């Protein structure tokens, strides 16, 4: 009689957390995301003329609350746990949010794009533990418009 170890391995091995990443440009075919054309002006200020598409990804925000909070006057936008203090150093700044402590309201990933007030939002699954973004930094230690950017949660 031959026993299979596969069921035991599946039970003993935790499933890898699925990465949820912001699309690189807007508009985008982004399954699971909701496009919000005019989010809260105080929570996500953008007061310039809208640029024509495609609009490149510019960064993320993480909200403690449901997707509807994107429209709130004062959304519960969280400060990054790492990478929020001091002057950034080239070539990039990495920021992360520890969301391993569960919130009864849940968490929302907000993907922001250059040249528009529109954002993509997605409620994060309870298994999500961290959100992160990487932004380019120039020689003067400033966030740059040029260079690769990424953001998402796992």
At 61-72, the pLDDT tens digits run: 999 999 999 998
Q: How many residues does the chain have?
A: 154
Residue 94 falls inside a structural domain:
no
Q: Which residues touch 151 (CB under 8 Å, ≥6 apart)?
A: 21, 22, 57, 59, 60, 111, 131, 132, 133, 134
| 67 and 108 Cβ atoms separated by less than 8 Å | yes
Quick check: is 56 in a domain? yes
List the beta strands (DSSP E) in 14-154: 20-21, 25-26, 34-36, 55-64, 92-98, 107-113, 119-123, 130-136, 150-153
Q: Which has more pLDDT, 17 or 30?
A: 30
Range of the domain at 119: 25-85+99-129
Residue 62 belongs to a domain: yes
Q: For residue range 7-26, what is the model confidence (pLDDT) as tens digits?
A: 433 343 344 568 999 999 99
Quick check: is 55 in a domain?
yes
Residue 106 counted as domain residue: yes
- pTM score, whole prediction: 0.85
| DSSP bridge pairs for 119 | 36, 112
Residue 7 within a domain: no
3-class DSSP state of 148: coil
Determine the distance from the C-alpha atom of residue 142 to the mean position of all C-alpha atoms in its chain, rounded to a whole number: 20
In a domain, 54, yes or no: yes
Q: How many domains, the chain?
A: 1
Is residue 10 one of the residues assigned to a domain? no
91-143: per-residue pLDDT in tens?
999 999 999 999 999 999 999 999 898 999 999 999 999 999 999 999 999 99
């Amino acid at each position: 009689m031959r026993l299979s170890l596969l069921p035991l391995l599946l039970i003993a091995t935790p499933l890898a957390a699925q990465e949820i990443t912001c699309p690189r440009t807007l508009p985008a075919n982004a399954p699971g995301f909701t496009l919000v054309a005019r989010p809260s002006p105080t929570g996500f200020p953008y007061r310039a003329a809208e640029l024509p598409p495609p609009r490149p990804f510019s960064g993320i925000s993480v909200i403690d609350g449901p997707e509807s909070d994107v429209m709130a006057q004062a959304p519960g936008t969280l400060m990054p746990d790492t990478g929020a203090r001091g002057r950034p150093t080239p070539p990039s700044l990495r920021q992360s949010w520890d969301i391993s402590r569960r919130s009864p309201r849940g968490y929302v990933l907000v993907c922001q794009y250059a040249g528009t007030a529109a954002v993509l939002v997605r409620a994060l699954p309870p298994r999500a533990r961290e959100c992160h973004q990487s932004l380019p930094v120039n020689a003067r230690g400033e966030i740059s418009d040029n260079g690769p950017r990424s953001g998402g949660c796992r």
